[in-house]
Structure 1
Amino acid sequence: MVKKRLLLLLFMLLAIFYFSHTPSLKVLDPSTWINPGSSRDGVKFVDILRPGSEFYSPWDYGIDAEFFVRKLAHFSFFGILACLFAWNLRYRYVVAWVLTTLYALSDEFHQAYTMGRDGRIMDVGIDSLGAIVFLCGLYVVHVQITKKQQSK
């Protein structure tokens, strides 16, 4: 039980939080993965939630290979996080999805404060979708394993 919770926390902090706090991260360029931890000055929580802020606008960078890899990373990292939540919550899938989506929202708020990054509500949608897809896959696998164990 402790190992499952530790794995969840390590994934949240070392994988997701670390990369979210890495300024000007380019997924396809490992030299940018080093995290000096710079924060933007003058960003206020109220400004993030203000209608018309960049938090609610579409992405302002080009749609290229970096864009697709970055969105795939969002999708898969939060899908894995949802599975870790479900595993820790004894396969309560809806609760795992809600917690993952809330963590995704907090992660995007965090990115709004990070130099060279931006938080976007659209990324929360991608994260939440990744969580649903991975949880559906986990559900199918879990049901098959349970049926196999019961038939023995």
Structure 2
Amino acid sequence: MKKNKYLILTILWMIFIFVMSQTPGNDSSKQSNFIVDIIIYILPITRDTLSFIVRKCAHMTEYAILAFLIYKTIVHIEKSLVKSFIFTFLYACTDEFHQLFIAGRAGQFRDVCIDSTGALIMILIIYIINKRKDKKIGS
């Protein structure tokens, strides 16, 4: 049952990413600007730079979560960390391809790299946690 739970969560998260990518460019910018408007008064940074950072951090976070969910879904499979990263990378590629067909959006390999960086960070966190657990069990 636990495997099914993570599979369902993974599919739902992939749908969420797809829906967010379906959002036209102007609407997507408005979503980011809500956060930017809050932070802009705290940090001495230009609005455009902050908007870029917020949007790219959102990308990284989305794909870090996806990598985690995929890993939990396939944890019982050999080399699950590597396979989770590869699957997340491939989904990022399809997401950027999808964005080529959305008004005001552009599919960019740079975004695939940013998405994959978020996934890689999550995979490294999981790897470190697993190594620490193994050390405790082996002690």
TM range (shorter): 0.7 to 0.9
Is there any run of 5+ residues in structure 2 with no aligned partner, and where? 35-46
Q: Does 1:119 align with 2:107?
A: yes
State the one-letter code of the partner of 1:7: L
- 2:72 alignment partner in structure 1: 87
Query: Displacement, 1:77?
Result: 1.0
Amino acid at match of 1:86: Y
Counterpart of 1:21, as a letter, is Q
Partner of 2:41: none
- Correspondence for 1:136: 124
Query: Are residue 28 (structure 1) and residue 32 (structure 2) matched?
Result: yes
Q: Give structure 1 regions of 4+ aligned residues with deviation exceeding 4 angstroms.
A: none
What is aligned with 2:37? none
Q: How far is 1:150 from its partner?
A: 5.0
Q: Identity over aligned residues, as a percent?
A: 36
Letter in 2 for 1:80: I
* Worse-matched range after superposition: 85-94 or 72-81: 85-94
CA contact under 8 A between 2:59 and 2:114: conserved in structure 1?
yes
Q: Which residue of 1 aligns with 2:19?
A: 18
Q: Which amino acid aligns with 2:49?
A: D
Letter in 1 for 2:10: L
Q: Deviations over 1:79-134 (max 9, x none)?
A: 11111111111161111111000000000001111112111011001111111111
1:6-37 C-alpha deviation (Å, 9 max, x unpaired): 011111102x111110112123245xxxxxxx
Distance across 1 between alignment mates of 2:70 and 2:134: 19
Deviation at 1:63, TM superposition (A): 4.5
Superposition TM-score, scaled by structure 1 size: 0.71
SS in 1 for 2:32: coil
Report how many residues are paired: 119
The separation in 1 between residues aligned to 2:48 and 2:108, in whole angstroms, is 15
Q: Is the 8 A contact 2:71 2:81 kept in 1?
A: yes
RMSD, aligned α-carbons: 1.8
Q: Which has the higher helix share?
A: 2
1:149, distance to aligned residue in structure 2 (A): 4.4
